[in-house]
Structure 1
Amino acid sequence: MSEAQPKQLLHLVIGGELSQIKGIEFKNLDEVDIVGVYPNYATAYAVWKQKSQLTVDNAEMRYFIVHMHKLLDPANGD
C-alpha cells in the first residue's frame, strides 16, 4: 500500500537589491537571484532564511517567497 503524496504547493524563492529599502522593486532585474522552486512552504522558508542571513549586512538586499501555487490556481488558494 502506498502512502498518499502531500499536495504540491509550489513556492519560488527570489532576491536582489531593492531600489528603495521599503519597496519591492529591484534595482537591476539582470541581477535578481532566482534561488529555486520548492514543493512546499517549509522547504522554501528554510532556503529563504539561509539566503537572507547571508546578506544581512546589506540593507537593500531582500529575499522573497512567492506562492506560485496561488498564481497558477487562484481559485484554489490553499
Structure 2
Amino acid sequence: MTDSGGKKQLLHLVFGGELENLDGIQFRDLKDLDIVGIFPDYATALTAWKAKAQQTVDNAHMRYFIVHMHRLLDPQDTTGSK
C-alpha cells in the first residue's frame, strides 16, 4: 500500500459517537455514529480528531476515536509506529 508519492500509506479512520456512559465504550445508537473520514497518515487523522473533539466539547458523552486501519489490514507489518 503506497500513495502516488511512493510513501507507504498508513490509513487511519476517525469516527465518534455518543456513549451510553462515561465508564465504557458502548455507543448509545450505532446509527448515529459520525464517520469523519479515512486519512493517509496519523498526523492528518489527529488534526481531524482534534477538530471534531473540539466541536463536541460541551457534550461529555461524545467521544471520537482514531483507528489504525493499516494495522488491521496488515497485522504483520510493524513499520508504522502510530
Task: Output the TM-score relative to the length of structure 1.
Answer: 0.91
- Report the Cα offset of residue 5 of structure 1: 2.4
> 1:73 matched to which residue of 2?
74
Tell me the matched-pair count. Answer: 75
Task: Give the corresponding residue for 1:7.
Answer: 8
**Aligned alpha-carbon RMSD (Å):** 1.0
Unmatched tracts of structure 1, length 5 or more = none
Structure 2 gaps of 5+ residues are none
Q: Distance in 1 between matches of 2:26 and 2:77?
A: 28
Aligned residue number for residue 41 of structure 2: 40
2:29 partner amino acid: N
Deviations 1:23-69 (A, max 9, x none): 11111000000110000000000000000000001000000000000
Identical amino acids, percent of aligned pairs: 61
- Superposition TM-score, scaled by structure 2 size: 0.86
Q: Whose helix proportion is higher, 1 or 2? A: 1
